[in-house]
A = this chain, B = another copy of it.
């Protein structure tokens, strides 16, 4: 059983309207908001050696990344802390608050519970003009497909390339990029935290078209042997960049850095250099 199989149960019980996107879109009076929640815990989500402050930062960063992937501006964060050691609380909160504030959000509430292993659940609310919401669906053949940042850095750090430690321990959510891409007219978007390959397959699930990318166009973590760098960039998880499609005519003066890595095609496939891309990356495995 893996995450993606369990998701079919979620869709069966809770409906599938919201499960294809990084956030749920909710209407509050005249206001359009996006909302998302993320659970991280010590044994499966936090990299070995992470500090309490970094764990707090990361918990908020994953949520901000989901909000950014919808084209929304993060505003409010709630943090539920399943605390293994009371003395860890202060640093965790300091990390969470500093990440939220760095990206224009506030930690407005939360909960505390005793837990055998550190478990952090952050929930975020962002605001967005309904015309600027970007969902996973919406890609059209002829759009280009592009990413922000350099994928593979977190995976490189995980296997020992310490020069990328910040990407792993103190990830930077692409908040400004997401807002800019929403305004620019990106047609589909998501974050790439499960890896580029699996994210492309998620886009495939949410759209009626396909995606064709080229290895040579993907930016790679520098100072890493080429074969390894490509493996990390295409299949490694833990990065916080955004993957998006956009009509090429709209890629003018959008004010952010990005790299075009391929095009949206009418075929229902994910292609790497013209061949079906292996569907592998970061997936939770479940016993039983």
Answer whether residue A158 sits at the interface, using C-beta atoms and an 8 A cutoff.
no
- CB pair B108 A115 closer than 8 Å: no
- CB pair A117 B114 closer than 8 Å: no
Copy tally for this chain in the complex stands at: 2
Segment touching B, from A40-48, A194-202, A240-248: A40-48
- CB pair A116 B119 closer than 8 Å: no
Interface residues on A, range: 35 or more
Which partner residue on chain B sits nearest A93 by CB separation? B13
With A and B bound together, what is the CA distance between A256 and B226 in angstroms? 70
Q: What's the minimum C-beta distance from A12 to chain B, rounded to whole angstroms?
A: 7
Segment touching B, from A79-87, A132-140, A147-155, A183-191: A79-87
1/0 per position for A4-27, CB-CB distance to B under 8 A? 011101101110001100011010
Q: What's the minimum C-beta distance from A196 to chain B, rounded to whole angstroms?
A: 21
- CB pair B30 A78 closer than 8 Å: no
Given the known inter-chain contacts A86-B288, A123-B123, please indicate yes or no for A35 contacting B109, CB distance below 8 A.
yes
Q: Which residues of A contact B (CB under 8 A)?
A: 1, 3, 5-7, 9-10, 12-14, 18-19, 23-24, 26, 28-31, 33, 35-41, 43-45, 75-76, 78-83, 85-87, 89-90, 93-94, 97, 107-117, 119, 121, 123, 125, 127, 284-288
